[in-house]
């Protein structure tokens, strides 16, 4: 067995076990994958300004997101069709995230239902990601099931009115296998297979839907997939309690701004009105503290979690999350911070960003 010390090691291990077509879907991005690359490159253009001679003998990575305590400012991003990565699918991810003490966001197009996920890791914190179907009954049903099962927030993904053009997927002719038909769509609309589910989405959703969700369900709403101050303000105006600065891991609009680059303007626009999270390209603890320094309350990780799932099921997910947690703890100590809350704007220089 190769050594597993970093997220990059996890990626290599995963690539060895995932079939090529599924790998194209998981690891690829849209178009020329410029945005996917920029997401990573943006971190290497930030410079950390660490402070010294501060007592860091007791560092904690724990934090709170929307009132929920978590072991680290690192949450599991929603990702579709996890059955294609490992037979434990979303249940493995749920167990791994719970073992690592953090929160999982379940995708709308998951290959397990919210109730199954809740039963797999009872008591663990969870949010549900929503795509809006033309048949609103499908969306309503999954939301109702998730809220019944104790999911505590709804994350409306706003950057997928239509699916991005992903060449690796197209070249490999990726299609989700039989067993990977999203559980709830299978129940509602038989015969609907894999990616076809995404063709049933409503491209006509507008901001009023955010207020509607808030009013109907009474749980916090998070808007995921925005990269501008303008949209961040609109999200707050419509009652969102959280926003995820994200370009869908570079899988939607190629050429879109790197999420880290967009973070400062969103943080400034939102002020104290909502919590700001970031995803896209987080692979190291130093990436986590960089995002915190630029004002994120927490980050979400996507592909690294699937890499862990692919090579090791629940255990692999836990291992990957613990690598990021340990690196974050180390980065906090070396930055001169005892907790995520102590990381400030002064800890990063962005003259190159």
Ligand X SMILES: Cc1cc2nc3c(=O)[nH]c(=O)nc-3n(C[C@H](O)[C@H](O)[C@H](O)COP(=O)(O)O)c2cc1C
The set of catalytic residues is 248
Query: Which residues inside 188-227 make contact with ligand X, applying CB under 6 A?
Result: 224
Does residue 21 touch ligand X according to CB under 6 A?
Answer: no
Query: Footprint of ligand X on residues 56-115 (CB under 6 A)?
Result: 77-80, 107, 109
Among 182, 302, 308, 312, binds ligand X (CB under 6 A): 302
Distance, CA of 213 to CA of 343 (rounded, Å):
33
| 154-157 and 47-48 beta bridge pairing | unpaired
Q: CB of 75: closest distance to ligand X in angstroms?
A: 10
Q: Which of 84, 6, 21, 93 is nearest to 302 (CA)?
A: 93
Cβ contact 247:279 at 8 Å: no
Beta strands at 47-48 and 348-349: parallel, antiparallel or unpaired:
antiparallel
Least CB distance to ligand X at residue 291 (A):
11
d(CA 321, CA 102): 9
Please say which residue, 59 or 223, places its beta carbon nearer to ligand X.
223
Query: What is the closest distance, in whole angstroms, from the C-beta atom of residue 57 to ligand X in the complex?
Result: 32
Cα end-to-end span (Å), the chain: 38
Which pairing describes strands 63-65 and 68-70: parallel, antiparallel, or unpaired? antiparallel
> Per CB under 6 A, which region of 8-16, 230-238, 269-277, 295-303 contacts ligand X?
295-303
Q: Which one of 21, 261, 279, 327 is in contact with ligand X (CB under 6 A)?
A: 279
Touching ligand X, residues 229-248 (CB under 6 A): 246, 248
Q: 244 — phi, psi (to 5°)?
A: -110, 115
C-beta of 30 vs 348, nearer to ligand X: 30
Beta carbons of 189 and 162 less than 8 angstroms apart: no
Q: Map the footprint of ligand X across residues 117-176, applying CB under 6 A.
A: 129, 157
Which residues here bind ligand X, judged by CB under 6 A? Answer: 25-26, 39, 77-80, 107, 109, 129, 157, 224, 246, 248-249, 251, 279-282, 301-303, 306
């Amino acid at each position: 067995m190769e050594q597993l010390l970093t997220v990059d090691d996890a990626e290599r291990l995963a690539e060895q076990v995932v079939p090529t077509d599924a790998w194209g879907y998981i690891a690829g991005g849209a178009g020329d994958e410029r945005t996917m690359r920029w997401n990573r490159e943006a971190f290497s253009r930030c410079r950390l300004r660490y402070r010294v001679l501060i007592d860091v003998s007791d560092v904690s990575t724990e934090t709170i997101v929307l009132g929920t305590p978590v072991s680290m400012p690192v949450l599991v991003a929603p990702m579709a069709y996890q059955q294609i990565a490992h037979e434990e699918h979303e249940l493995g991810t749920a167990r791994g995230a719970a073992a690592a003490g953090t929160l999982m966001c379940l995708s709308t197009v998951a290959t397990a239902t919210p109730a199954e996920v809740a039963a797999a890791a009872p008591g663990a914190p969870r949010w549900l990601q929503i795509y809006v179907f033309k048949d609103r009954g499908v969306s309503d049903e999954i939301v109702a099931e998730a809220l019944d099962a104790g999911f505590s927030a709804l994350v409306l993904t706003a950057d997928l009115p239509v699916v991005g053009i992903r060449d690796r997927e197209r070249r490999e002719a990726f299609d989700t296998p039989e067993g990977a038909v999203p559980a709830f769509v299978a129940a509602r609309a038989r015969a609907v297979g894999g990616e076809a589910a995404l063709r049933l989405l409503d491209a006509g959703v507008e901001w009023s839907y955010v207020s509607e969700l808030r009013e109907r369900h009474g749980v916090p709403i998070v808007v995921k997939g925005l990269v501008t101050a303008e949209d961040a303000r609109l999200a707050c105006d419509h009652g969102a309690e959280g926003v995820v600065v994200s370009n869908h891991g570079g899988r939607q609009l190629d050429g879109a701004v790197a999420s880290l680059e967009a973070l400062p303007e969103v943080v400034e626009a939102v002020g104290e009105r909502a919590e700001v999270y970031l995803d896209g390209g987080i692979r190291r603890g130093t990436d986590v503290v960089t995002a915190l320094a630029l004002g994120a309350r927490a980050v979400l990780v996507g592909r690294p979690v699937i890499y862990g799932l692919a090579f090791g099921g629940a255990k692999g997910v836990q291992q990957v999350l613990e690598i990021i947690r340990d690196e974050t703890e180390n980065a906090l100590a070396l930055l001169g911070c005892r907790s995520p809350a102590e990381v400030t704007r002064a800890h990063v220089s962005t003259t190159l960003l």
